[in-house]
Structure 1
């Protein structure tokens, strides 16, 4: 069964709206597959254990976990993404369809901190390869005083020195068993380079299209300064949906040792 879902109300009310594709097994297992690390909440080195566990889990998530009803996340398919940026030097309406996010399998876990009492998880990761978003786009608006309009294929290549995530969990009891729900996700990153390619700008005028792509890439810092909150929201929604699929199926007593 193919399911589309909007993960949080926050993404429906302004800058960005995202619809993520997921495939759900009708009767998934609640047991962690072999290879996953389980940690004790009383371990004085809980953060290090969770970091190692996250790193061990990444290849499984990248390739999918059929027993948990989770399909591969590299590439991660975003069915629909809309960005409406109406303030500052970037004033655009931009929509994407069938966007694939590529190279998530190379994520490296660097730091994890878990507040057991308040169910708050903080983690920092690094990706040694570029994160790529490619698919179909449509844009209309103005970027740094220049008009821009077009519809076609696009590819965004993003290099980042650090990704940081904060996840607020909430325990819920289902039929006597405690699970976690994701109450909120915040995702930030420190960019080092953004390369943009949008085909068929200005109704296929190659000269104008090439010049606009050149202009966007020469001014990527200014562009990303305006759009980064939207892209961070995209990543937060995408990773939040992955986490939701996982936590819906695996109870607390399978994640942590007693």
Structure 2
């Protein structure tokens, strides 16, 4: 599978941006705290509504809804063999994220997080598709809507220290974001050049076989969420020194 995406948010902010203290409302955690991980979990949970809404002092704008300028999925082999292009894709309902657990190792700079979103995640935008799904050909261009219900998200973040003006900051070196789905609903408008009968049949077919369809699309969707959290996280980390986030 080849996935190419263009996101409206830059993943990395300008490295020379002036540092600031942790904004009011964010929780600082002491590395020596025996309940350090619990503090990290609470800190992340309390930061969700602020980061989603946007923090002007950090250069963060609202990220729910989150707009993806373009996303291309090229799946050449397997039961789902398609070329799908999405534009102006809007992702919403991430603001309902609940942090279930968190672990941070200050020595290796690794963060592991498990979350869930009780509300359905929505992805809406424009699409164009050409290829084959299971045994049926598919072609179309128009509006699309995906509704995803997720049991659990798992995020693994590898960071590294960087130094600017004698202060240490953290930089995201690698981030993976995976999820376990429990339901997936697809609506693709204007399939088969507007042939309503064929289009309705294909949408029913896609939803009856959602597990097989999603198994092929999931890496692209996970990349979208990974890019979203990398963007928000790195923008935050670029402006706030490590010693303002974690206390000795």
State the TM-score, normalizing by the size of structure 2.
0.94
Could you say what the CA RMSD is over the residues aligned between the two structures, in angstroms?
A: 1.6
Q: Does 1:120 align with 2:110?
A: yes
Match in the other structure for 1:19: 6
For residues 80-119 of structure 1, what are the alpha-carbon distances to aligned partners after superposition, in whole Å with 9 as ceiling and x for unaligned?
1111111210000111111111001000001001112111
Q: Distance in 2 between matches of 1:77 and 1:41?
A: 36
Q: For 1:97, what is the secondary structure of its paired residue?
A: strand
Q: Distance in 1 between matches of 2:54 and 2:130?
A: 36
Q: Does 1:232 align with 2:222?
A: yes
**How far did residue 27 of structure 1 move?**
6.4
Specify which of 154, 158, 170 is matched with residue 164 of structure 1.
154
**How far did residue 230 of structure 1 move?**
2.1
Q: Does 1:46 align with 2:36?
A: yes
Q: Distance in 1 between matches of 2:8 and 2:65?
A: 11
Question: Structure 1 regions of 5+ residues with no counterpart?
Answer: 1-13
Tell me, yes or no, if the aligned pair for 1:22 and 1:71 is still in contact at 8 Å.
no
Q: Distance in 2 between matches of 1:215 and 1:30?
A: 53
Match in the other structure for 1:179: 169
Q: For 2:235, what is the secondary structure of its paired residue?
A: helix
Report matched runs for 1:23-172 at 5 Å.
Answer: 30-172=20-162
Question: Structure 2 regions of 5+ residues with no counterpart?
Answer: none
Q: For 1:21, what is the secondary structure of its paired residue?
A: coil
For residues 105-148 of structure 1, what are the alpha-carbon distances to aligned partners after superposition, in whole Å with 9 as ceiling and x for unaligned?
00000100111211111000010000111111111110011111
State the TM-score, normalizing by the size of structure 1.
0.91
Q: Distance in 2 between matches of 1:30 and 1:84?
A: 42
Tell me, yes or no, if the aligned pair for 1:28 and 1:68 is still in contact at 8 Å.
no
Deviates further, 136-145 or 24-33: 24-33
Q: Distance in 2 between matches of 1:117 and 1:77?
A: 35
Classify 1:99/1:28 alpha carbon distance in 2 versus 1 (closer, same or farther; 3 Å).
farther
Tell me, yes or no, if the aligned pair for 1:29 and 1:67 is still in contact at 8 Å.
no
Match in the other structure for 1:4: none
Q: How many residues align?
A: 245
Q: Greater RCO between the two (CA within 8 Å, min separation 6)?
A: 2
Q: Distance in 2 between matches of 1:27 and 1:221?
A: 44
